Amino acid sequence: MVINVKNGCWAILAVACLGLGAAGCQDANTKMCLDETAKYKGLGDKKSNEAKELLMGAMQSCAMSCDTLKVEDACPAYKDLSESTCDIVGKAGCQRICDTDKNKYACDKAKSM
């Protein structure tokens, strides 16, 4: 997965996950996924810098929860975020996300665009 690290947040999450063990990480990461998704959905301007930063963070935490940790609660959020991203970046960008991140939701969306 392509990850843009800003302000060391993902490094802190990784260290926290190692300290808590898999169960603690799963809960913290999934909470982050769902909280950031809710904040993103509540924004009016989905193309603002704030929206883009929230979207990137939420996509990363939701991908980890859904694909890596297999937390089913995170998968609908990951799907919604993937489809929203595809709507913003268009078919070619969506296909890049599909290919680069192996994002099944982006792959499905790219096929339907």
User: How many domains, the chain?
Assistant: 1
In a domain, 47, yes or no: yes
Q: Report H helices in 3-103.
A: 9-42, 49-63, 75-101
Domain span holding position 38: 9-112
In a domain, 42, yes or no: yes
pLDDT for residue 20: 45
In a domain, 78, yes or no: yes
* pLDDT tens, residue order, the chain (113 aa): 334 444 344 444 444 444 444 445 557 889 999 999 999 999 988 888 999 899 999 999 999 999 998 999 999 999 999 999 999 999 999 999 999 999 999 999 999 99
Q: Return the structure tokens found at 69.
A: 């940790």
Compute the distance between CA of residue 106 and CA of residue 100 in angstroms, rounded to an integer.
10
In a domain, 86, yes or no: yes
